[in-house]
Amino acid sequence: MTARESIHRHAFRTMGTTVEMVLVGGELTDALGAFALAETLANQWERTFSRFRPDSELSRMNAAAGHPVVTSVELFSCVSAAANASRQTAGLFDPTILPALLAIGYDRTFADIAGAPADPPAPAPAPGLTGIQLDPATRTITVQPDVRIDLGGIAKGMYADVLAARLSGWPGGAISAGGDLRVWGISPSGNAWQVGVEDPSRPDRDVAVLGLSDGGVATSGISRRSWRRGRQSVHHLIDPRTGTPARTGIQTVTVTSPTAMQAEVAATALYVGGEAGTTLARILPLISNAIIVRETGEIREITGNLEERPHASNVNVA
Amino acid sequence: MSDNQENQGEPSPNESTRDGKKLERAAKRQERETRAKRIILIGSLASFLGFFGLSVAAQPFSGAQVTGTQAPASAAPSHDDDDDDEDHGPALFTNGAQIRTRTS
């Protein structure tokens, strides 16, 4: 890339978070068209996947639990991907944890959650895939009467991947949907993209910078979404096996994978499953690289089985 | 030769001051016109971007041409505002990184 080539940046609020975009090369008018496309797609995603909008397609499907529902291509694809992710991670990633989230008070937007006085009710394991039936021929989904689906994280990853595919004609770009990140092509420096990994203790700093030319990155952690419920400190990363917030001694897990959606799935599963050998055996085939920041502040780098090896530099080992 | 004769063809101190003020006024007028043109240009661009619901917020980046747009700070949060972001703003280009992860 020459110094004359343009860099176009855009950020906007959507889906309860901030979407950030960087496009390298091209003309301003084309970039404005790309940004308008990103916002249109984000509006479509909100109408489809938000669990906080009673009129979203997901909310209507959850409300119709027990009955078959013909769904859009987007919703069917995302639920199918979530089901596949659940199989790949032996249930550590599970889209049916919504009742457990509701039970600990995550029944409204995070900004509205106040410390509820009562302790949460007795937890129950998530029903998992047995609670969902998919019929690809008719795009029909049937969720069992006691099952509710949450697609928050994986839907944001899918958004970044779909938008990146739509903008693949650009020489280079980066899309972050609330942290679910997808990069491709040339970066503003002309080399691999330099992706900062947020320090959970000091979010204005990075614990590492990853060099990545093409792929997805996602970070799962509890630093931004923890609250009190009665006498307990709770957070949104539910262990489907118990129905309670996962306790693994980890602050954050950052994963690089071929897509943002896959990175989101692997980061969540690795956080929930912890550093146990059985977890790693499941997750390593899905990732290129992972950076774990433990509650003690220690940082661990893990190399996955996939080919692209992001170059980690400036790792600030605590 | 009188002083007047010596100064013939050259402005007197009073004339010099007057000319200087004229030049100063002309320079100021030109500066105002330039600024007005700039405002009109920015206004036109803002109107154009406004069509897309965007506002202008250019930020510099090492020697390359950078354009930037950002949703207005006063934009209403989305209906399902579920976020945790305290600053609600982009977190790009810090600590040598070109883009950053955000814990979710």
Asked if A194 reaches chain B (Cβ–Cβ under 8 Å), the answer is: yes
Across the interface, do B78 and A46 touch by the CB < 8 Å criterion? yes
Q: Which chain B residue has its CA at the smallest distance from A56's CA? A: B80
Q: Which of A13, A36, A200 sits opposite B78 (nearest CB)?
A: A13
Tell me, what's the pLDDT at A87?
97
User: Using a CB-CB distance cutoff of 8 angstroms, which residues of chain A are in contact with residue B72?
Assistant: none
pLDDT at B55 over 70: no
Which residue in A68, A25, A292 sits closest to A169, CA to CA? A25
- H-only helix segments in chain A: 28-49, 57-63, 73-88, 98-103, 152-166, 260-273, 277-283
Asked if A209 reaches chain B (Cβ–Cβ under 8 Å), the answer is: yes
Tell me, what's the pLDDT at B51?
36
Across the interface, do A5 and B64 touch by the CB < 8 Å criterion? yes
Across the interface, do A17 and B85 touch by the CB < 8 Å criterion? yes
Tell me, what's the pLDDT at A197?
93
Across the interface, do A196 and B94 touch by the CB < 8 Å criterion? yes
Tell me, what's the pLDDT at B90?
42
Cα distance between residue A169 and residue A261, in whole Å: 21
Regions of chain A short of the pLDDT cut 50: 3, 317-318
Per the CB < 8 A criterion, the answer to whether A24 and A186 are in contact is yes
Q: Which residue do the tokens 């004609």 mark? A: A169
Asked if A109 reaches chain B (Cβ–Cβ under 8 Å), the answer is: yes
Per the CB < 8 A criterion, the answer to whether A216 and A104 are in contact is no
Split at pLDDT 50, 70, 90, the class of B93 is very low
Tell me, what's the pLDDT at B39?
43
pLDDT at B85 over 60: no
Across the interface, do B104 and A218 touch by the CB < 8 Å criterion? yes
User: Using a CB-CB distance cutoff of 8 angstroms, which residues of chain A are in contact with residue B101?
Assistant: 176, 179, 181, 195-198, 217-219, 254
The mean pLDDT value of chain B amounts to 50
User: Using a CB-CB distance cutoff of 8 angstroms, which residues of chain B are in contact with residue A109?
Assistant: 80-82
Split at pLDDT 50, 70, 90, the class of B22 is low
Tell me, what's the pLDDT at A117?
57
Tell me, what's the pLDDT at A65?
97
Distance from CA of A154 to the nearest CA of B (A): 11
Amino acid A272 reads: V
Structure ipTM: 0.81
Across the interface, do A195 and B101 touch by the CB < 8 Å criterion? yes
